[in-house]
Amino acid sequence: MAVASSRQRILAPDRSFETADDAGTRAHKFQVPEVIFGIGTLDEVGGVLRRRGWDRPMVVSDESVSAAGWPDRAVRSMAAVGLDAAVWRGVTPNPKDYEVDLGLDAFFDCGADVLVAVGGGSCIDAAKAIALLSGNGGQICSYGGIDQAVAPIPPMVMLPSTGGSGADVSQFCVVTDTARMTKVTIAGRALVPDVSLTDPVLLTTMDAEVAAHTGIDALSHAIEAYVSLASDFLTAPHAMAATRGMAKWLLRSVEDPGDLVAKEGVARASLQAGMAFSNALLGATHAISHQIGGLSDLPHGLLNAILLPHVVRFNAEVCAVRYKEVAVGLGLDAGDDPSDAAAAVADHIELLAAKLGIPYGLSAVGVKEEHIESFVAGALSDVYMTTNPRPVGADDVRDICLAAL
């Protein structure tokens, strides 16, 4: 791969956030929802809705989370304060455009004035998409990009059951375009939910595979946000805390689903990773994985776990110092030379993924070399590619995918 130009090095300021920022040349913006976090807070959701003056909630969930009983418990909390909630359980993993249309019909049919998602990132993204369409009309996949929807949308309260997508705090919504077989990233401050309510108890009913995939996804959020071109003094502390938290709790939480201390640690890390990446954005790992996920419907976190080490190696030459800090956050002894740290981070992610039972390489999950060309254009136009610390061209996408095969 080509050596980065001097301009690329300027675009990726590779220094610690402990030092001064951009000499006053850049505006810093940080937006998060009202955050409620803690064991047992699920039962507060009714009171939250009542306090905010929202009268007719529609709960958005899926079958597996419903089987765990969490949406029904949220509905009971609402009933306790006199709110009659509708429940729509039609979301599947990697939410599809046609599911959003069905959810929109349900939203209009029940006359809801607030959306309450109870579930993983798919349920939360579906709720965001329904909210967006209810205020703006049209087709959800036409809103890809930044701030394409301008009309007001209904309020949103998000209760994540995984640790996690970060969608409960983020300004992003990802929907699968089933006609083009790709994922569309929709971004905008209007998509930042009004309330993020995390009860770590919800994480205890994830199966081990979902816990592994969503946990390493959250770690990828933390690492990509930390080295992002938009990372700053407001986002970096959250990204680093999330890196440390996932390093400490993820494996333990997957090995023992009933370990509530570990689940709370993962939930905290996921929340902080979400606050970081919503404002700092992400990088090439997510830009590429969205394309593969749209084509294959493979789990988002699994693809990120496979791609992230290769993106770290690709980025290493422009952000060695930040990867050195990430290495410290992961608890690695990366030596004194920052250029060695990226390699240590990449190797560590591969080792962690193996311990979590994630297959090594895209070919192990059915992606073939002949598929790669179909990922290139979409990856380059994905919102998250704009903040990858090293500029990425078409050949770079091909090289990263080939290395990840």
Q: Which amino acid is at 211?
A: A
Residues 6+ away with beta carbon under 8 Å from 312 = 223, 323, 342, 345, 346, 349
CB of 242 to Fe ion, least distance (A): 12
The CB-nearest residue to Fe ion is 217
Closest C-alpha among 12, 91, 78, 88 to residue 314 = 12
Q: In this structure, are strands 182-187 and 145-146 parallel, antiparallel, or unpaired?
A: parallel
Taking Cα atoms as reference points, which of 226, 227, 379, 231 lies closest to residue 318? 227
CB of 254 to Fe ion, least distance (A): 17
Site for Fe ion in 197-256 (CB under 5 A): 217
Q: How far is the CB of 281 from Fe ion (least distance, A)?
A: 11
How long a stretch of residues is the chain? 405
Q: Smaller CB distance to Fe ion: residue 58 or 367? A: 367
Nearer to Fe ion, 62 or 217 (CB): 217
Query: Distance between CA atoms of 241 and 169, rounded to whole angstroms?
Result: 16
* Closest distance of CB 183 from Fe ion, Å: 11
140: which 2 tokens?
């959800």
> In whole angstroms, how close is the CB of 123 to Fe ion at the nearest point?
15
Answer yes or no: are the C-beta atoms of 215 and 250 closer than 8 Å.
yes
The residue (of 217 and 382) whose beta carbon lies closer to Fe ion is 217
Of 157 and 287, which has the nearer Cβ to Fe ion?
287
User: Measured from the CB of residue 394, what is the shortest distance to Fe ion in angstroms?
Assistant: 23
How many chain residues touch Fe ion (CB under 5 A)? 1
User: Is 217 or 350 the residue whose CB approaches Fe ion more closely?
Assistant: 217
Cβ 282 to Fe ion shortest distance, Å? 7
Residues 268 and 166 sit within 8 Å (Cβ to Cβ): no
Pattern of binders to Fe ion over 115-154, x per CB under 5 A? ----------------------------------------
Please list every residue from 47 through 106 that binds Fe ion, using CB under 5 A. none
Question: Which of 58/288 has CB closer to Fe ion?
Answer: 288
Q: Kindly tell me which of 107 and 277 has the beta carbon lying closer to Fe ion.
A: 277
* b/e 86-121 (16+ beta carbons within 10 angstroms → b): bbbbbbebbbbbebbeebbebbeebebebbbbbbbb
Q: Closest distance between Fe ion and the C-beta of residue 111, in Å? A: 33
Beta bridge partners of 145: 186
Please report, for residues 74, 156, 354, 390, 399, the alpha-carbon distance to residue 4 in angstroms, rounded to integers and kept in the order given: 51, 42, 31, 8, 15
Task: Give the nearer residue to Fe ion in terms of CB position, either 87 or 219.
Answer: 219
Does residue 266 contact residue 203 with C-beta atoms inside 8 Å?
A: yes
Half-sphere exposure of 151 (CA within 13 A, CB side): 10
Residues at the site binding Fe ion, with contacts judged by CB under 5 A: 217
